[in-house]
Chain A
Amino acid sequence: MHTTYGKGLRGLSIAAIVTIGAALALAFFYAPLDANQGFIQKIFYIHVPLAIVTLCGFIFGALMAVQYLRTGDRRWDMRSYVAIHMALIFGIVGLITGSIWAKASWGHWWVWNEPTLVSYLIVLLLFCTYQPLRFSIEDPERQSRYASVFAIVAGAFVPLNFIAVRLAQQYVHPRVLTLTGGNLPGSMLLTFLVSLLGISLLYATLWKYEMAAKNARSQVRRLRRTLLGEDTMRPVGRSAAPS
């Protein structure tokens, strides 16, 4: 129980900062201007990695939830919670940057004929119910169990939803940049990959930070209970976070 999650945190933080700094430098000084969209296209280097990391974060949370149901160890539930919590924050930032990009390049804050955008919104709407669900279950053990079931179902929902929404579009908006299409020039691809790495490292760092903080708090509580006795403890309020 004495894992602190603090180990390697400094190295990870530095790596994240350096990589994101490098990605920004590459985006502004190295990657060429897009012929059609001009300068605003540079938001692509933030927005797309954010979106990818968000979806991976949700899947990551689902895998942790599987581990929780298999082992019954509450630490897995904590990991799953923090993964989904962080992914939600990244997801909302991703949605906002996507909206800005859409406004700048298509003239609307929101477009329905971009399947990736729509599926992303649906996934985000689903995961927004994760916290209310946790909050409305009082028994901590049941909260962990139900939240894990939800995380697994919602994690499996992510790819299925993308398939369904993509097929539902009458036509796919002509895209300047596709990852699969070979029309991404090498310099842009390099910049994109560096920012993807940077955002992933940022996610990992923040995940580790929150884990360390939650862990430290629960250890402080435990120590205080042992040293000062049970009756000095203030009761913990109902919380969506596992304790």
Chain B
Amino acid sequence: MRTALVVLRKDLRMEMRTWETVPAMVLLALVTFVIFHFGLNRDTIAGQEAAGVLTATLLFAAMLGVNRLFVAEREQGGFDAFLLAPVDRSAMLVAKAAGLFIFLTALEVIAIPAFKLFLLGPSLGPVLPGLILILVLANVGLAVIGTLVSAIAVHTRARDLIGPVIGLPLLIPALIATARAAGPLFNAGHVSGAPPGKWLAILALYDLVFALLAYAVFDFLLED
């Protein structure tokens, strides 16, 4: 656990000093909103459509973060150093997934208000707690699967291609659940603010299964 914290702190410090990943993710999300505005030819959207737009946008932005996740380790010998150190290999998975989770949260802190400003019709206030719950669960799924896929892709020749190409199908069930859970929240008449429990349960189950699976197989991706 301490190793994971050290790696995580290193990643966060690197991000704070270079600002390479999170600003790019935010920018991509904003541009995607603009594209959706013109693509759908709408000033405001609501309901399931809004949920779909938000999910797709977050997914695209997340893919940027996923692609960058292990680049520094590979280029600057971080993998070798980590393998030389007498530490638990799974610490790398925990640290990277936590880092990606933090990046995604930072992205959403900016992207959700921007989404409301640019596209979303109904007001966000009453449904915000429910939306946060959905996004937290979605972020866990994106972070775990993103880390796993990134660790597979980083050692391949076509790593920019392999990452998204494997990651997108793997994420489809989580994205279905995210979009379906968020859909009712964006309906104009929705007052209770509670997301549908069925989809939250599926999302949580998906997160749990893939977290355990990633934990089980991650060691084999670092071995050398």
Contacts and interface: CB of A to CB of B under 8 A. Distances in A.
Q: Do A and B make up one complex? A: yes
Interface of A: 69, 122-123, 125-126, 129, 132-133, 136-138, 142, 145-146, 148-150, 152-154, 156-157, 160-161, 163-165, 167-168
Interface residues of B, number: 30
Question: Is chain A's binding surface mostly helix, strand, loop or mixed?
Answer: helix
Interface of B: 148, 152, 155-159, 161-162, 165-166, 169-170, 172-173, 176-177, 180, 198, 202, 205-206, 209-210, 213-214, 217, 220-221, 223
B209 A156 contact: yes
A205 B102 CA distance: 50
21 contacts: A122-B172, A125-B169, A126-B170, A129-B165, A136-B157, A136-B159, A136-B162, A142-B155, A146-B156, A150-B152, A152-B213, A153-B148, A153-B210, A153-B217, A156-B209, A157-B170, A160-B173, A163-B202, A164-B176, A164-B177, A168-B180
A138 B220 contact: no
Contacts of A150: 152, 166
A145 B209 contact: no
Nearest to A157: B170
A142 B154 CA distance: 12
Contacts of B159: 136
A137 B220 CA distance: 15
Contacts of B156: 133, 136-137, 146
A149 B162 contact: no
A145 B148 contact: no
